[in-house]
Every structure is written in C-alpha cells, then in structure tokens.
Amino acid sequence: MHVSNELFARKAAQYIGNIIDELPLGSIVELRTFGEYDRSKNVVSFSFMITRKMGQRPADVKEKVSLFIGNLPKLIKDGKLNLQEHTSIIGELKILSERLDKTRKTRIIILSDMLEYSAEANCYKLISTKNGKLPEALGILKNTNIIALGAGYGCKSSTENDRLKAMWSEWFKKTGAAEFRYLSDF
C-alpha cells in the first residue's frame, strides 16, 4: 500500500500543505481515514476551520495535517493505524456527499490507488476488461473538485492505469463533480 511508503507520505503531505496555504479564512479542512465500509474501522477524523486564532491559522492547520499524513507510515508500522484489506471509495464518497453543502465549492483530496475493492465494485477485475464501468452515483458531488493522489499505484501496466483513469473520470462526471484530477505522480 502506498500510504505506508515514506516518500509517498512526504510528497502527499507537501502537496496538501500547499493547498492549505491557499485557503481563505473560514475554510474547513477535514481529514478522515477510510477503507472498508465498516464505520468502526474508520475512526480517525479531524476538522479544522481556518481562522486568525492561534492553532487555527493556515500555517497551524497545514502543520497538523502535514504531520499526520507525513507520519502515516510510522502510524501503520507502530500498529496505531491498520491498513484495511478492502477499499470502499464509492461508499465513503456517498456518506461524505450527504454532509456537503452543494452550494459551496468543495475540494476532496483522496490518498488512494483508486483500486476500489468493495461490494460495489472490484476495480482489479474491471481494469482487466476493455469496457469496465463503476456503478452509478448520479449527482452526489455537484460543485466538487476531486483530486486523487497516488491513483493507479497498484496497476500492473499503463493499459490498466488508462482504464482505471477512464472509469473514475466517467464516474466523477456522472456525480456532477466540477473537476477530477487523477494524479499517479505529483
């Protein structure tokens, strides 16, 4: 899993930190773990509102979020976070979409290889065929920008990576997402 890779974690922390630097006051930054659909396995959740107040300034929030993401490999190695066997990206996004204010611009950054492996879809099988498709999820992410960091990390060929990117691009388009960026390297 690439979230346990130190170089990936450092790069992801820096990438996300740069985005936090650009956020205006009043922005809300949430950090959540996900994997299997089981809520009891996804217990890490932080939320910060960027203000002028000490501890909530952009630099403070950046430091906290970057520290957590940069330390993912150590947290996993020390057994404080467990890598899960399945990944329910679609299920997590459905849950998240219920809380989104669709009138506000939202950015979701996903640290994942995007190889969904759940009751909803098995991307490992879907990328082995030419016309693999993810299930419908119409309109759930309107006015949302999605960035997938580490997408395609587990693909065994550029063909598989291209198919995975095409599947997710189509899926996010149908969700109403304003933008989808599939970043294998960043």
Q: Are residues 128 and 156 part of one domain?
A: yes
Which residues span the domain enclosing 111? Answer: 86-186
Same domain as 127, residue 186: yes
Closest CA relative to residue 16, chosen from 4, 5, 27, 29: 29
CA–CA dist 152, 113 (Å, integer): 5
For residue range 86-132, list pLDDT tens digits in order: 899 999 999 999 999 888 889 999 999 999 999 999 999 999 999 99
Given 37, 61, 85, the domain boundary residue is 85
Query: In terms of domains, do 168 and 155 share one?
Result: yes
> Is the pLDDT assigned to residue 34 strictly greater than 60?
yes
Are 134 and 183 part of one and the same domain?
yes
Number of domains in the chain: 2
Listed residues 29, 56, 85: the one ending a domain: 85
Answer yes or no: do 95 and 178 share one domain: yes
Give me 29's structure tokens: 């930054």
pLDDT digits (tens, 9 = 90+) for 58-80: 999 999 999 999 999 999 999 89
- Give the mean pLDDT of the chain: 93
Q: pLDDT, tens digit, for every residue of 44-53?
A: 899 999 999 9
Rounded Cα–Cα distance for residues 56 and 28 (Å): 10
Same domain, 72 and 121: no
Answer yes or no: do 76 and 100 share one domain.
no
- Predicted TM-score (pTM) of this structure: 0.92
Same domain, 74 and 143: no
Same domain, 95 and 76: no
Do 32 and 15 lie in a common domain? Answer: yes
Q: What is the DSSP letter of 138?
A: T
**Which residue is it, tokens 């066997």?**
85
| Residue 156 predicted with pLDDT over 90 | yes
Domain boundary among 69, 85, 101: 85
Same domain, 125 and 38: no
Buried b (16+ CB within 10 A) or exposed e, 35-68: bbbeeeebeeeeebebeeeeeeebebbbebbbeb
One domain for residues 38 and 64: yes
